Amino acid sequence: MIDSESSAPDLIAGFVQAAETARQVEDAYRKEAAARIATLAGARATAFRRLNLVRSAATAISEAAEPEKAVARARFVIAQTLGWEEPGPRQALVLDRLSPFLEALSASLTPGAAAADDNAADTGAAAALRRFEDWYRAETGSEFYALFERYMPETPRVDF
């Protein structure tokens, strides 16, 4: 009987170690999964912010009464979207650097523009937007689309 009693603490110690190892593996996986989910959520947010930027710029350009003022209208709409009612020098620089994209987008919205340029993928609006995003990242160390984040404080519920 003494042998079985002495093996019980060893058996329990083995199960304790197995349980601790399983917990550590699970914790590591949860951290990896959380990091992956955060990465995917960031990519999704950037993709939708990019889509909204392009959509609002295209709408502004398309609705411009005078084609020569279409890019200025798109700049105005983007500035308003970012909350830049009176852009300062830094905001004006960002809008200036965004203008080649807006001009390429305006040109692409012109009837027959896509057929006229065989290198549209390399020189078109998408490439101009990528160049702008690269410039902004190099200039500021952050993504341009982070400017579109809006902190919304939690509003207390009040029952009357």
- pLDDT tens digit string along 59-107? 999 998 888 899 999 999 999 999 999 989 999 999 999 999 999 999 9
Alpha carbon separation from 46 to 50, 102, 143 (Å, rounded): 6, 19, 9
Look-up of token digits 């601790």 = 20
User: What pLDDT, on a 0 to 100 scale, did the predictor assign at position 113?
Assistant: 56
User: What pLDDT, on a 0 to 100 scale, did the predictor assign at position 128?
Assistant: 96
User: What pLDDT, on a 0 to 100 scale, did the predictor assign at position 146?
Assistant: 92
Instruction: Identify residue 142 by its one-letter amino acid code.
Output: S
Torsion of the alpha carbons at 95, 99, 100 and 104, rounded to the nearest 10: 140
Closest residue by Cα to residue 98 from 114, 82, 119: 82
Q: Look up residue 65 and give its DSSP letter.
A: S
User: What pLDDT, on a 0 to 100 scale, did the predictor assign at position 116?
Assistant: 52
Percent of the chain with pLDDT over 70: 86
User: What pLDDT, on a 0 to 100 scale, did the predictor assign at position 157?
Assistant: 75
Least confident among 59-68, 72-81, 119-128, 135-144: 119-128
Vertex 104 angle, CA 109 and 64, to 5°: 50
Looking at the predicted structure, is the pLDDT value of residue 121 above 80? no
Reduced 3-state DSSP string for 123-151: HCHHHHHHHHHHHHHHHHCCCHHHHHCCC
Distance CA 98, CA 133 (A): 9
Looking at the predicted structure, is the pLDDT value of residue 141 above 80? yes
User: What pLDDT, on a 0 to 100 scale, did the predictor assign at position 1?
Assistant: 46
User: What pLDDT, on a 0 to 100 scale, did the predictor assign at position 159?
Assistant: 67
Distance CA 83, CA 56 (A): 14
Average confidence score pLDDT of the chain: 88
Looking at the predicted structure, is the pLDDT value of residue 123 above 70? no
